[in-house]
Amino acid sequence: MTGHVRISLAAWAATVLGALVLTPVFSGPFLFISALLCAAVTGVGILLQNWRTPRFVVPIVQLLVLIELISLFFLHDTMKFGLLPWRDTVVSFNSQMVDAMDSINRYSAPLPYDRHLLLFASSVIAAAGLLIHLVAVQIRQAAWAGLLLLTMYTVPAATVHGGLPALLFVPPALGYIVLLSAEGRTRLSRWGRRISGVSHLDAAEPIEASALGQAGRRIGLSVVALAALLPALIPALPEGVIGNGLNGSGAGSGAGAVISANDPMLDMGKNLKRGDNVTALTYTGGPAGGVYLRLTALDSFDGNVWRVSDKGEGQRIGNDLLSPPPGYLGDLTKVPQVKMKIEVERALRSQLAPVPYPLRSISLKKNWKYYTSALDVTSTNGQVVGGEDYNLTYYDLQPTAQELNDSIPTGEPDQVTSELPNSKINPEVVQLAQQVTAEAKGNRFQQAAALQSYFRSSTFTYSTATDSKSGMNALNDFLLRSRRGYCEQFATGMALMARILGIPSRVAIGFLPRPADSDNKHVVKMHDMHAWPELYFQGIGWVTFDPTPPARIATAPSWTNPANVGPTSPITTAPTAPTTPGETVSPTAKTPNERNLPGDSGLGTVNAGNWFTNGGGKLIGLTLLAILLLCVPWLIRTLTRRKRFSRLPSRIGIEGLWAEVRDTARDLGLDWSDISTPRQLGDWLVSKVPAETQPQALRLARGVEAMRYAGQDSDFPDLRTEAEAVRKALWIDTRFIRRWRARMLPPSWRWYLNRGSSEASDLLDEFDLLLARIRSALIPRRSGRHAN
């Protein structure tokens, strides 16, 4: 096999192995297709080089072949005469790549199977394979090809929630080592036959590995092992060691949630499904049953995902927010104002501050701003809210069901919250919205209440155990078929159907209300994160609805109950009696009428758990794991000792018994000499054991000496009794602390680690020699042919 063929095949293998890291991101047969494309590119390169084609021509022809194959596989309908890529092919390719990038930015991994994503993944991997072939074969700089493999690894490392499995780093690392090995072998072959070999092969071995190759493989093995272990260890480090990941650092457990301003809905779903249920924040003041704390409101919907629309630069925060609640036309001086104090834990790494709606004032000033359309508060410099304590005041707007029912729509609040991507709306969803609200007779409040009642009925099931698919297809499946999901699906489903009916809507992201404890503190956990729809009513503004089923939310806000419509509609939750800092500063507070909810929280009854479920079980598990790891050296020594004493008398058996005595001496801190003969070591053992054990020590040493130097091939003596007696004598004559150290952390254990590394490296040497041995066995030697 010529050098360029060997490197070309190694480059193809490295590309395919490197592409394995993309399996947590993409779905479908992208790996198989990209392997075929790379194989075609590699084959063309080998063929052209065998024909002595100029070096600069080879990558050009390879690129043309790659374009032709991609067009045939994915864009065949746009090709001229069904064979030639044309202008329409370029336009279609660009359009699908743009759609793929949009899907990558919007959806969580793994991405749903789609043709444009399959095209994107296959094209990127094939292009990387072409570049790797160019760098390794044409430019002859295989080491630099590792940067391209690293580029493929960074894609899932940056997009997969929770990081990648540590072992997923191994395939691209092995591919890189294979590529370097092929290039090194080709370079060395120009200097003639290699003369040095692996340590354990005898001199008669006809095929040998290079000493340089041995060193490279040992280094490669160490690097791969280190790279596989470090990702598994780093997530366990305290947050203060490497920072919190979003500007700033500090002490912390490392557990918690990251809520980005770019896609808070995605981050909320990840936290509810896989996050730790640690405390997010605590607050005092407000209603005894708690209040919805909102991070932001998603008002833009493009048919695939809900996002925050472009709101401009935002407003600096003064003593009071200058903007009144959008859409409210009443007299704000008559609206009760409630004070609260919020203490956010460092575990909540969010650039959005959790606040009730509508906010009037907040003590966060420097590096924070607010937006007039939603009155949400966000950082101006990437600072996170974790660790912040702040005071605030909010308007206790509590419309009655009668006020909502009598609201007359006169206009839209903006140009965003009523928009619908009509081309992507399923007609069946439109028909469903009309059927559910048929009895509302066009009244917006009655329509909204009917939608909420529909979602909270037994038709739907609340469950976070749903797949990670997103977009309109997933929403259609939720509304029309599965009817199973969590707050994200319920909130977005109701908001979408509200817009279909002409009601402006948006989706709020934040935290559920939590009741006060005995200390009048409201403790909010990470799993209290929630999404709910806000619907717009003229003169009142944005009103909270909650369509999540009773399994999660026991009772929806009472102002959303159409049964309360009437001349004497009851008033909903009002602030509690004045407290500090939660006093009501308006003298016109409404009459208290607490909601009839379990724990007065608006939530289903949730078991708070006990010490074991709230972290104690994890602590016990980590403790047991630590004990198990500490016992590994003892376990290895124990099993090794039993194996040695279980062997029947033989050359291997006697060597094993002698090795056991040697390891025991090392474990006990005795000076065992590796350069001494068995006779010298026997005399040394006699000086270390009691008089009654000295004969056994001499017999053991003489037996080892006879086995090694007397040419004995059979009738080996059984020295197990002597070895056990010597071992026990060494133990008895040692201090108690030294004996325990020898049991739990035997120094001889480190020798087995070195031996394991050496044997693994020798195994790599054997693998390297395998093809050469096969070729040597199949192809007659030249000298043999000449002799004939």
Q: Which of 511, 599, 590, 595 is nearest to 558 (CA)?
A: 595
Q: Which residues lie below 8 Å from residue 172, measured CB to CB, with a gap of 6+? A: 14, 17, 18, 20, 21, 149, 150, 152, 153
Residue 477 identity = D
pLDDT digits (tens, 9 = 90+) for 471-495: 677 888 888 888 888 888 899 899 9
Helix (H), strand (E) at residue 769: helix 748-778
Rounded to whole angstroms, the Cα distance separating 443 from 451 reads 12
pLDDT digits (tens, 9 = 90+) for 346-400: 888 888 899 999 888 898 888 888 888 888 888 887 778 888 899 999 998 888 8
Q: Which residues lie below 8 Å from residue 165, measured CB to CB, with a gap of 6+? A: none
Confidence class of residue 452 from pLDDT cuts 50, 70 and 90?
very high
The pLDDT, as a whole number, for residue 163 is 58
Asked if 294 and 510 count as a contact pair (C-beta separation under 8 A), the reply is yes
Structure-model confidence comparison of residues 505 and 562, the more confident one: 505
Confidence class of residue 206 from pLDDT cuts 50, 70 and 90?
very low
The pLDDT, as a whole number, for residue 380 is 81
Q: What percent of the chain has pLDDT over 70?
A: 73
| Torsion 474-476-478-482 (CA) sign | negative
SS (H, E, C) 724-742: HHHHHHHHHCCCHHHHHHH
pLDDT digits (tens, 9 = 90+) for 233-273: 444 333 333 333 333 333 334 445 556 555 666 666 666 65
The pLDDT, as a whole number, for residue 99 is 76
CA torsion, points 706, 708, 710, 711, in degrees to nearest 10?
130
Averaged pLDDT for residues 513-534: 90
The pLDDT, as a whole number, for residue 609 is 47
SS (H, E, C) 405-467: HHCCCCCCCCCCCCCCCHHHCCHHHHHHHHHHCHHHCCCHHHHHHHHHHHHCCCCCEECCCCC
Averaged pLDDT for residues 564-593: 41
Helix (H), strand (E) at residue 301: strand 300-301
Residue 34 above 60 pLDDT?
yes
Confidence class of residue 764 from pLDDT cuts 50, 70 and 90?
low
| Rg from Cα positions in the chain | 36
Q: Which residues lie below 8 Å from residue 741, measured CB to CB, with a gap of 6+? A: none
pLDDT digits (tens, 9 = 90+) for 170-182: 788 888 888 887 7
Rounded to whole angstroms, the Cα distance separating 41 from 31 reads 15
The pLDDT, as a whole number, for residue 108 is 59
Structure tokens at 590: 């409404």
CA torsion, points 494, 497, 498, 504, in degrees to nearest 10?
100
Give whole-number Cα distances, 67 to 76, 92, 116, 184, 371, in Å: 12, 13, 16, 32, 48
Cis-peptide into 54, omega within 30 deg: no
The pLDDT, as a whole number, for residue 522 is 93
CA atoms within 13 A on the CB side of 736: 0
The helix, strand and coil proportions of the chain, stated in percent and rounded to the nearest 5, come to: 50, 10, 40
Measured at the CA of 730, the angle between CA 727 and CA 734, to 5 degrees, comes to: 140
Strands 315-316 and 337-344 turn out to be unpaired
Lowest mean pLDDT, pick from 314-323, 604-613, 699-708 = 604-613
Asked if 346 and 248 count as a contact pair (C-beta separation under 8 A), the reply is no
User: What single DSSP character describes residue 324?
Assistant: P
Q: Phi/psi class of residue 81: alpha, beta or left (left: φ > 0; alpha: ψ in -120 to 50)?
A: left
Confidence class of residue 446 from pLDDT cuts 50, 70 and 90?
very high
The pLDDT, as a whole number, for residue 478 is 87
| pLDDT, the chain, mean | 76
Helix (H), strand (E) at residue 51: none
Give whole-number Cα distances, 148 to 131, 287, 309, in Å: 8, 57, 36
Q: Which of 440, 297, 271 is nearest to 357 (CA)?
A: 297
Helix axes 170-189, 145-159, angle to 10 degrees: 180
Lowest mean pLDDT, pick from 160-169, 568-577, 763-772 = 568-577
Averaged pLDDT for residues 689-711: 87
Instruction: Label residues 133-161 b or e (16+ Cβ within 10 Å = b).
Output: bbbbbbeeebeebbebbeebbebbbebbb
Looking up tokens 């979408």, which residue turns up? 496
CA atoms within 13 A on the CB side of 158: 8
